[in-house]
């Protein structure tokens, strides 16, 4: 429920500990990092904000970047511009490709990776990409913390489940040498859950054999399409795939799309999803 200007209460914790303590005392406080998603969708002179807000962008503890040989950790308030600057040498290239498809540089300087994941009503551009990369997230609350796979944060309907007292503080993205990394955001009109589609595909090969294959589709709504059975079936196949294999896989995929969310997807999304997967499969080893 939005509040008039005079009823908006803004909290500005000085440290992460302060923030966690605030969240324990006032679980209804909503976190505000970049705010791009909220403000882009409210073009009123005075945007409608929730009555209790915690401004967290300034917290250094949430802006840290840490890299090891096996993974990179990004604080939830690291901006998309910052990740883009670090670039595809350090960060999985598919994530960089996805970030570059979002807004313009001045928008990316505000938008944060945590904000992109935590939008309540929609799974925005980076969510499917991070899901595919086996990203784990740190969830902290006063007196405790846990790491969870991003997969576990969403249910089958695409709803996000983070408890009211928890805060997503860090993301840990495994660093794997993917031979094929591809992200594309398509839109047939205004960016919306009916007219937009993002595709993310990653794969690894070794001596002409597919050792890992993953792909996912996202809309600007809650729909996420990923079929692990099809992915598993492809592993250990020779690439390039034979035409008859391509057709068989595509038929499976088509059946999966029809079965899983036909009413939630527009003909544009279904059509483009088919094209993207056929193209990605055909490009492996080619």
In the complex, which residues of this chain contact another protein (CB under 8 A)?
A: 4-6, 8, 10, 12, 32, 35-36, 39-40, 43-49, 53, 55, 57-58, 79, 81, 103-107, 109-110, 184, 186-189, 195, 266-268, 271-272, 275-276, 278-279, 282-283
Nearer to another protein, 136 or 217 (CB): 217
140: closest CA among 173, 175, 104, 169? 169
36: closest CA among 1, 80, 76? 80
Residue with the two structure tokens 């791009």: 36
Burial (Cβ within 10 Å: 0-12, 13-18, ≥19) of residue 183: buried
Nearer to another protein, 110 or 137 (CB): 110
Least separation in angstroms between residue 73's CB and another protein is: 22
Contact (CB, 8 A) for 133 and 175: no
Least separation in angstroms between residue 200's CB and another protein is: 14
Using CA atoms, how far apart are residues 119 and 85, in angstroms rounded to an integer?
24
Nearer to another protein, 183 or 222 (CB): 183
Which one-letter DSSP state was computed for residue 262? G
In 10 A of CB 261, how many CB atoms?
Answer: 21
Least separation in angstroms between residue 101's CB and another protein is: 12
Least separation in angstroms between residue 121's CB and another protein is: 18
Nearer to another protein, 58 or 66 (CB): 58
Nearer to another protein, 35 or 285 (CB): 35
Helix (H) or strand (E) holding 115: helix 113-118
Nearer to another protein, 142 or 278 (CB): 278
Beta strands in 26-86 (DSSP E): 30-32, 52-55, 65-67, 71-75
Nearer to another protein, 87 or 105 (CB): 105
Least separation in angstroms between residue 157's CB and another protein is: 25
The residues near 70 (Cβ < 8 Å, ≥ 6 apart) are 174, 175
Least separation in angstroms between residue 201's CB and another protein is: 12
Least separation in angstroms between residue 232's CB and another protein is: 23
33: closest CA among 109, 128, 84? 109
Burial (Cβ within 10 Å: 0-12, 13-18, ≥19) of residue 188: middle
């Amino acid at each position: 429920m939005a509040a008039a200007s005079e009823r908006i209460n803004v909290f500005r914790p000085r440290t992460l500990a302060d923030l966690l303590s605030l969240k324990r005392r006032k679980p209804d406080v909503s976190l505000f990092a970049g705010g791009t998603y909220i403000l882009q969708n409210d073009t009123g002179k005075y945007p409608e904000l929730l009555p209790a807000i915690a401004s967290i962008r300034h917290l250094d503890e949430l802006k840290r970047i840490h890299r090891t040989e096996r993974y990179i950790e990004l604080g939830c308030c690291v901006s998309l511009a910052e990740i883009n600057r670090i670039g595809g040498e350090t960060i999985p290239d598919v994530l960089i490709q996805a970030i570059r498809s979002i807004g313009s540089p001045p928008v990316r300087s505000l938008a944060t990776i945590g904000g992109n994941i935590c939008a309540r009503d929609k799974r925005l551009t980076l969510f499917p990409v991070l899901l595919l990369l086996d990203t784990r997230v740190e969830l902290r609350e006063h007196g405790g913390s846990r790491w969870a796979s991003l997969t576990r944060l969403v249910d089958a309907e695409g709803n996000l489940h983070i408890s009211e007292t928890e805060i997503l503080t860090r993301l840990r993205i495994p660093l794997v040498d993917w031979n094929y990394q591809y992200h594309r955001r398509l839109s047939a009109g205004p960016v919306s859950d009916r007219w937009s589609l993002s595709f993310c595909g990653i794969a690894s090969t070794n001596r002409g054999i597919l050792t890992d294959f993953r792909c996912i589709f996202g809309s600007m709504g809650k729909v996420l399409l990923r079929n692990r059975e099809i992915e598993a079936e492809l592993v250990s196949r020779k690439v390039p795939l034979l035409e008859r294999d391509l057709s068989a896989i595509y038929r499976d995929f088509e059946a999966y799309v029809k079965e899983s969310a036909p009413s939630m997807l527009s003909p544009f999304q279904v059509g483009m999803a088919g094209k993207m997967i056929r193209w990605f499969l055909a490009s492996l080893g080619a």
